[in-house]
Each structure stands twice: as structure tokens, then as C-alpha cells.
């Protein structure tokens, strides 16, 4: 099985492929034939009806897609405007709160300095002692629990008194 290659013929075909101008002209001829080709002439009447039906459905589908895309774009743009306005409002509110916090801090520091000046000017005898300042007051909860326990003990003390009178 010996394969004979015709090298001259292969060379000619390669030269044809390498000739760019000739390829362009052949491609333009094929494109013109495709443009002029009317598929409806070669189809049966039932196939032509199916083709028209498909073309109609395709155009309806494309209109529906375009309509949906416009609706999505409108909704997206509306949401983006809302997000931007919310961002601007939040930034304004943050600036206001930040400004108020700085003002309050400045006022507190000023009041603190004035209080320190008053305390440093006052005599040591009028200044509160460290023991008095460090002494803790009982919390309201403790006071309330003491009252409750006292109320609970009172009836039992009355019972004890009544027992001692009987004896």
C-alpha cells in the first residue's frame, strides 16, 4: 500500500489558499449568493407556514424581552436613586450627630474646667472629704429588700408574742 502524492497539485492548492485577493473575491461571491438565496422558494407550503409562525413568535418574544428589560432598567434606576438619597440623608444625619457630640464634649470640658477652678479656689475645709466621697449609699434595691424582709418578720414576731402570752 503505497500512497502516491501529487506534490505539484498540493503546491498549487496551497498557492491558491495563500493568494489573499483571490480568497476575498471568492468569499464576496459566496456572500452575494447567500444574500440572494430565498429560502421560501425551496420550502413546501406547510414548512413556509411553520417558518412564518416561528418568525412571528420570535418577534413577539423579542418585544417581550425588550419590554421586560426596560422595566428592569426603570426599577433598577429607581432603586439606585433611592439608595443614593438614603446615603445622602444618612451622611447628613451623621454630620449633625457628630457636630452635636463635639459641641456637647466642648461644653462638658468647659463645665469641667469651671468646676475644677471653683473647687481649687474653695478652701480645703469646705471641700468634701475623701471618706465622704468614697462612702457608698445603699442602692434602692437593697433598701427595698430590707423593707420586704422587715415586713415578713413582723408577722412572725407577732406570732411569737401571742405564743408567749398564752404560756
DSSP of 13-40: HHHHHH-HHHHHHHHHHHHHHHHH--HH
Please report which confidence band the pLDDT of residue 96 belongs to, taking 50, 70 and 90 as the band edges: very high
**From the CB of residue 149, how many other CB atoms can be counted at a distance below 10 Å?**
10
What is the percent of the chain with per-residue pLDDT over 70, rounded to a whole number? 69
Measured at the CA of 100, the angle between CA 94 and CA 104, to 5 degrees, comes to 145
Q: Is 143 helix (H, G, I), strand (E, B) or coil?
A: helix
Per the prediction, the chain carries an average pLDDT of 79
- CA–CA gap between residue 126 and residue 37 (Å, rounded): 113
Q: Indicate the range of 23-27, 61-65, 96-100 predicted with least confidence.
A: 23-27
This prediction has a pTM of: 0.39
122-163 pLDDT, tens per residue?
855 554 555 555 555 555 555 555 555 555 555 555 555 555
For residue 149, the model assigns a pLDDT of 52
For residue 155, the model assigns a pLDDT of 56
Q: Indicate the range of 3-17, 54-68, 76-90, 137-151 predicted with least confidence.
A: 137-151
Amino acid at each position: 500500500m503505497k500512497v502516491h502524492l501529487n506534490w505539484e497539485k498540493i503546491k498549487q492548492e496551497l498557492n491558491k489558499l495563500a493568494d489573499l485577493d483571490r480568497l476575498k473575491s471568492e468569499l464576496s461571491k459566496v456572500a452575494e449568493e447567500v444574500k440572494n438565496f430565498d429560502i421560501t422558494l425551496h420550502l413546501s407550503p406547510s414548512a413556509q407556514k411553520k417558518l412564518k409562525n416561528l418568525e412571528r413568535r420570535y418577534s413577539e418574544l423579542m418585544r417581550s424581552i425588550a419590554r421586560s428589560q426596560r422595566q428592569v432598567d426603570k426599577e433598577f434606576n429607581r432603586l439606585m436613586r433611592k439608595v443614593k438619597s438614603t446615603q445622602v440623608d444618612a451622611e447628613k444625619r451623621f454630620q449633625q450627630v457628630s457636630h452635636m457630640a463635639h459641641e456637647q464634649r466642648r461644653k462638658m470640658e468647659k463645665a469641667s474646667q469651671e468646676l475644677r477652678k471653683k473647687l481649687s479656689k474653695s478652701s480645703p475645709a469646705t471641700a468634701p472629704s475623701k471618706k465622704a466621697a468614697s462612702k457608698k449609699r445603699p442602692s434602692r434595691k437593697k433598701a427595698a429588700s430590707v423593707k420586704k424582709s422587715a415586713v415578713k418578720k413582723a408577722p412572725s414576731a407577732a406570732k411569737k408574742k401571742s405564743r408567749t402570752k398564752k404560756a
